[in-house]
Chains A and B, each alone.
Chain A
């Protein structure tokens, strides 16, 4: 059956979203058509607003609608600790822990095998912050995988001339994890970082 052209167009647009397959796209499109017109317009307007008003903060790179972002404007934060993260979603997760330092978001996914060029990271603003003398510690909050490990070592090398303490998130067993299934590196690092009970 040939679908109405606008409906077909909507399905094709939804198909561009991650994890959305043809059936899901069709279901969502039909659902949107059943919504009251005002709600459908709200969804469309929310997408337009987010696209137009949200951009990386010029100072830290976090996605924000006001520049500089609320975190950069917060004067009660510890300005001497800079946390480097890959994405804003990582910042959201770290914020939940009560961390009170500042951030630098790379906004790039670094994948060794995809031919990522380290020059594409645009690290000059980070280097400027490190050379300003205000930063005493750089916390590397990158994923504990091969890509994150390589990038961490690269950033640590870059920070060396600025005499900044470079730390990274501890490796260890996750809450609810199972020692039996842990790899040797995780276990070794968990043992190194063991605590008094």
Chain B
């Protein structure tokens, strides 16, 4: 059976002599793995369409185990992001999170649009840490892990919310903190306020949010821990970004 879909290219790995096994994410069909034949040959017309974090229209033939890519057209190459190391790393980071969080053939249309929008924002405006945090938080929400940010998950109160329980999936008030000892992340009022703003914020709201350096750091730590707790895997790109940070100086988030 033949079909086609606009997809984001998550990654491609070597497969047989001149082929690649490409992992793609489609709005309609979810995460798929497909073989791109002869892709390493210089004359291959598919090559540019299957580079990581490309947005491409691909034509597939449904095989027994894997799909076969028969044709491809590049829709968006995110050229600015590819010319800049920091933007490249963060764009690949988005792909890594998708790869590690999505099940095969399970479409989540909202998440597809969120990823595409985030890639475009990075390409057009450069790296704003809040854009990355917005993606991470809303990815968790799309996957069904919405954190409870408005009330204490133990007593239901909404005053003095000072810590976040990874196991309970929500905020804990000062009074209930002693009873919940493990997996608590301390959270400042500023960090909590930003998180609430990031939930479902659009790009114009994102551009207006102001955050201190300490709140950004806390936010990054919290979302990294939150995603790792639920997805049960570390993110390699985060380590690479941190590794390159001291040597380049400007890779900052």
Seen from chain A, the residues whose Cβ lies within 8 Å of a Cβ on chain B are 19, 111-118, 145-146, 149-150, 153-154, 157-158, 174-178, 180-186, 188
Contact = CB atoms under 8 A, between A and B. Distances in A.
A174 B44 CA distance: 10
A111 B17 CA distance: 18
Question: Chain B at the A interface: mostly helix, strand, loop or mixed?
Answer: helix
Contact of B51 (A112, A113, A146, A182): A146
Contacts of B16: 19
Given A113-B99, A150-B89, A182-B48, A174 B43 contact: yes
A187 B190 CA distance: 46
Interface in B1-60: 11, 13, 16-17, 42-43, 45-48, 51-52
Given A149-B88, A150-B88, A112 B240 contact: yes
Given A174-B42, A184-B79, A150 B85 contact: yes
Nearest to B42: A174
Interface of B: 11, 13, 16-17, 42-43, 45-48, 51-52, 74, 77, 79, 82-83, 85, 88-89, 92, 95-96, 99, 234, 236-237, 239-240, 243-244, 247-248
Contact of B236 (A113, A145, A182, A183): A113
Given A111-B13, A181-B45, 17 more contacts: A112-B92, A112-B237, A112-B240, A113-B96, A113-B99, A114-B236, A117-B243, A118-B243, A146-B82, A177-B42, A177-B43, A182-B48, A183-B77, A184-B77, A185-B77, A185-B79, A188-B79
Given A146-B51, A183-B77, A188-B79, A154 B92 contact: no
Contacts of A174: 42-43
Contacts of A112: 89, 92, 236-237, 240
B51 A157 contact: no
Contacts of A177: 42-43
Contacts of A113: 11, 52, 92, 95-96, 99, 236-237
Complex A-B, nearest 4 residue pairs according to Cβ-Cβ distance, in ascending order? A183-B48, A115-B236, A174-B42, A181-B45
A154 B244 CA distance: 8
Contacts of B236: 112-116
A114 B95 CA distance: 12
Given A157-B247, A175-B42, A176-B43, A185 B83 contact: yes
10 contacts: A112-B236, A113-B11, A115-B239, A118-B244, A145-B52, A150-B88, A150-B89, A181-B46, A185-B83, A188-B79
A174 B239 CA distance: 35
Contacts of B79: 184-185, 188
Nearest to A154: B244
Contacts of A186: 48
B242 to A, nearest CB: 11
B24 to A, nearest CB: 14
A128 to B, nearest CB: 18
Given A146-B88, A150-B85, A183 B95 contact: no
Contacts of B13: 111
Contacts of B248: 157
